[in-house]
Structure 1
Amino acid sequence: MNARRKSNLSYETVKTSIHQRIADGGWQPGVRLPSERELVLQFGCARMTVHRALRELEAEGLIERRQGSGSYVAELHPISNLLQVRDIHDEIAERGHAHTTRVCGITRERASADVAGAMRLRKGTAVFRCQLVHLENGVPIQFEDRHVNPALAPDLLRQDFSCVTPSRVLFEHAPLTEAEQVVEAVLATPEQAKLLDVPAASALLMVSRRTVSQGKVASIARLYHPGARYRLIGRFSVSSQEGKLA
């Protein structure tokens, strides 16, 4: 990279990239991040740019910087020790309401470096991508942006997602054996705001979820919910020492 390119790259770009890699599960809690020098080479930017990005991520509690050792992904406190992974159709039906789906895109694409890392695949491997809006009684409550491993759900693209959800297909073809999720507040992009019928920059609740079946990552998903329309409920059991999948 030349000096001009380095001087033009902002610390926000570096910060956002590292933040997204953590949110996608590419870097797990406790994992040591590349050194500042390695990040400078990776992003082609000045060392001060990387230093400021890491300093802000540390201030936000996403990473820990240890003197003489480096930077590590912070061990975040889970919302609950009971993890439930459910089909949104079932959740809405249990409330006695009608679930409908608006299909935004169902495609096959090459996995980016971040997606491949989170899915434990080679960069450029073919993956399926589903982008859907889920509505409850006609009101948008979730935008689902999901990548799926074709090896575990080979007929996914042939499904009619106005009748079945990606979660239902995965439950049938790749039964869960493990799952991870991160919950955080984000601001709606113009596209997300339009899909969810909320004002631009509205507060959204984003759930980043990775599901595993028999040692293979089945899917990674970002689930966006309007903050004013959705509640995340966690249940705590003092008798349970492990996360529970449902």
Structure 2
Amino acid sequence: MSSAKYHQIKDHILTQIRSGQWQEFQRVPSENQLAQQFAVSRMTARRALSELTDAGILTRTQGLGSFVASFKSQSSLLEIRNIADEVRERNHSYSCAPVTLESIDAVAPIAIALGVEPGEQVYHSVLVHFENDAPLQVEERFVNPELAPNYLQQDFHTLTPHEYLSQVAPLTEARHTVEAITPNQQMCTWLNLYNEEPCLQVIRRTWSQRGIVSFARLVSPGSKYRLGGHLTFTKRS
């Protein structure tokens, strides 16, 4: 019963957003309010909010609550680089192992993230990137077929998704969400982790001039990866 209710909560929130009843940056009901409304435990309500936050549909602020995320593009403060180039710049060897390459029906959170209708076909890939034959990052990506029609035909042993998408739909803007997570069992297997080492997760949506190109989740062991950036500020006269 709790599983069905959990899906009902997610569907309710997504319906409110799609219909325009809840606008971007609007606060959504709290865990307690949702638990009372759907007659479930706070844990069930928290799971629904957490998964929508992981998908970039909501944002959460400690002490303030959950809010509808902005679905408009915004400038990125993080430089987006090709992971293969990063590894080779360290004079290390790079390799990649594709795990999944498929076309799927877009469930509501993915449809919203890509700006398509629920049920439309989108491309889905899971790849593991290696540095010196050690797993460095798991990349799960959903791609808009209209903007990258030959995505599934690429050989990602030799070409990264970033390289291919930069060729067919040059990046103009991006939106990031960065957080520390505890990896699940499948993620630990892919990353060859033997304990619950914290991982760095980046949720990223990218735009080209024609629209939203992809929605990706990048997960790396906290001990092996870090993010950096460079900001230039214009001095006011």
- Give the TM-score taking structure 1 as reference length: 0.73
Provide closer, same or farther for how the CA distance between residues 108 and 17 of structure 1 changes in structure 2, counting only shifts above 3 A: same
Alignment gaps of 5+ in structure 1: 22-26, 66-70, 241-246
SS at the partner of 1:195? helix
Alpha-carbon contact 1:62-1:74 (below 8 Å) kept: no
Aligned residue for 1:126?
121
Aligned residue for 1:24?
none
Alpha-carbon RMSD: 3.8
Aligned residue for 1:198?
193
Q: Which one of 104, 107, 117 corresponds to residue 109 of structure 1?
A: 104
Specify which structure has the bigger relative contact order, considering alpha-carbon pairs within 8 angstroms and separated by 6 or more residues.
1
Give deviations 1:102-156, integer Å, cap 9, x for gaps.
1111111111111001111100110111100000111111000000001111111
Provide closer, same or farther for how the CA distance between residues 49 and 90 of structure 1 changes in structure 2, counting only shifts above 3 A: same
Give the alignment of 1:1-40 within 5 angstroms.
5=1, 8=2, 30-33=25-28
Supply the distance in 1 between the matched residues of 2:76 and 2:141 (Cα, whole angstroms): 24
Give deviations 1:150-209, integer Å, cap 9, x for gaps.
111111111111010111110000011110001000011111001101124321100000
Supply the distance in 1 between the matched residues of 2:124 and 2:165 (Cα, whole angstroms): 13
Provide closer, same or farther for how the CA distance between residues 224 and 100 of structure 1 changes in structure 2, counting only shifts above 3 A: same
Supply the distance in 2 between the matched residues of 1:62 and 1:74 (Cα, whole angstroms): 15
Alignment gaps of 5+ in structure 2: 15-21, 51-59
Alpha-carbon contact 1:63-1:74 (below 8 Å) kept: no
Q: Which one of 137, 142, 145 corresponds to residue 140 of structure 2?
A: 145
Using the aligned pairs only, state the percent identity. Answer: 36
Alpha-carbon contact 2:96-2:128 (below 8 Å) kept: yes
Supply the distance in 2 between the matched residues of 1:81 and 1:202 (Cα, whole angstroms): 28
* Structure 2 residue 223 is matched with structure 1 residue 228: yes
Aligned residue for 1:45?
38
Letter in 1 for 2:99: C
Letter in 1 for 2:61: G
Aligned residue for 1:94?
89
Give the alignment of 1:164-243 within 5 angstroms.
164-239=159-234
Letter in 2 for 1:64: L
Alpha-carbon contact 1:180-1:211 (below 8 Å) kept: yes
Supply the distance in 1 between the matched residues of 2:187 and 2:45 (Cα, whole angstroms): 29
